[in-house]
């Protein structure tokens, strides 16, 4: 169900900082029309750390409603509190999500046994496919391949969003967890190389503003046209660079605003990109052919 180009959706906001649900629905319609294979609301890119619990749930429900079953929705349901993550996962299941994305618990730094028990508890609480989100750069901890293999043996632990940028990792994960364990890259720059190492797709930041190109790259790979897939990735490279010139989602929110999807607003403690980096984002969009 989850493969190819999936978009780690921004949460569009109005100038006053409130969620812009009309822009969100338009963004999702456009994503699907452009070929995006799946939607991932309220992850890091969706500013989950600064959404209230009610906003989080509202955004998940809005994504599911806008998708209308056309593509699967993997709802963010992560927390460094296991009980809170279970609550978010149960809400996502009740709302009609097709899966949940659960980040490794940040700040409190559980050991590998704690990580196993955290995901085991969530998996037992819902029947949805559960995806591990392993992002050491933000959560500090790194789930080992051995722990992931233990979790992969559970019935509804379905896969991983791997944001380690370590291209040896998917090879070891494939060997330990088997080919049915869905490996999704969480790092746009290495997405194509990740596919070559056993990956099934990418949960992409860049796809918020270049969904057609991201989908085209994955489609080319799937049909064996490696040269075209590489050409698309090289075209996207300046955009990938620009999307991470400051903390995500600052640059992509600005880029989305240029395309008419919400205001250029991120919630504190993040701030809008600097003028210099805004110019860099706009130049990359022009070079990639996203703006006239």
Active site residues: 133, 161
- The single residue listed with the structure tokens 């959404």 is 51
State residue 198 phi and psi, 5-degree precision: 115, 5
Burial annotation 48-65 (CB, 10 A radius, 16+ → b, else e): beebeeebbbbbbbbbbe
DSSP string computed for 184-236:
EE--GGGHHHHHHTT--EEEESGGGT-HHHHHHHHHHHHTT-HHHHHHHHHHH
Asked if 162 and 183 count as a contact pair (C-beta separation under 8 A), the reply is yes
| 3-class SS of residue 112 | helix
Angle between helices 21-33 and 53-67 (to 10 degrees): 40
Write the CB contacts of 144 (distance below 8 Å, at least 6 apart in sequence).
112
Q: Given CA atoms 223, 226, 229, 233 in this order, what sign does their dihedral have? A: positive
Give the E-state strand segments of 28-135 in sequence order: 38-40, 74-76, 99-103, 130-134
- The single residue listed with the structure tokens 């293999």 is 149
Structure tokens at 186: 């969480």
Structure tokens at 125: 């609480």
């Amino acid at each position: 169900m989850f493969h190819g180009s999936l978009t780690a959706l921004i949460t569009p906001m109005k100038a006053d900082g409130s969620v812009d649900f009309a822009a969100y629905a338009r963004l999702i319609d456009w994503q699907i029309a452009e070929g995006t294979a799946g939607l991932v609301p309220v992850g890091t890119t969706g500013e989950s750390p600064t959404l209230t619990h009610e906003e989080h749930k509202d955004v998940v429900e809005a994504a599911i409603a806008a998708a209308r079953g056309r593509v699967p929705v993997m709802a963010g349901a992560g927390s460094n509190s296991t009980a809170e993550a279970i609550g978010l996962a149960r809400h996502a299941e009740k709302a009609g999500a097709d899966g949940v994305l659960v980040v490794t618990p940040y700040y409190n730094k559980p050991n590998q046994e704690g990580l196993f028990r955290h995901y085991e508890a969530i998996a037992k609480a819902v029947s949805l496919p559960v995806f591990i989100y392993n992002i050491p750069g933000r959560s500090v901890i790194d789930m080992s391949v051995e722990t992931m293999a233990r979790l992969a043996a559970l019935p509804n632990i379905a896969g991983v969003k791997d944001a380690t940028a370590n291209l040896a990792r998917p090879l070891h994960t494939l060997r330990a967890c088997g080919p049915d364990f869905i490996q999704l890259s969480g790092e746009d720059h290495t997405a194509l190389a990740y596919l070559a190492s056993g990956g099934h797709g990418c949960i992409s930041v860049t796809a918020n503003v270049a969904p057609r190109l991201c989908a085209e790259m994955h489609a080319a790979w799937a049909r064996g046209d490696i040269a075209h897939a590489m050409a698309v990735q090289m075209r996207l490279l300046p955009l990938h660079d620009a999307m991470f010139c400051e903390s995500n989602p600052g640059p992509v929110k600005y880029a989305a605003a240029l395309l008419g999807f919400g205001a250029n607003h991120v919630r504190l403690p993040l701030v809008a990109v600097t003028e210099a980096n805004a110019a860099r984002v706009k130049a990359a969009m022009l070079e990639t052919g996203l703006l006239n």
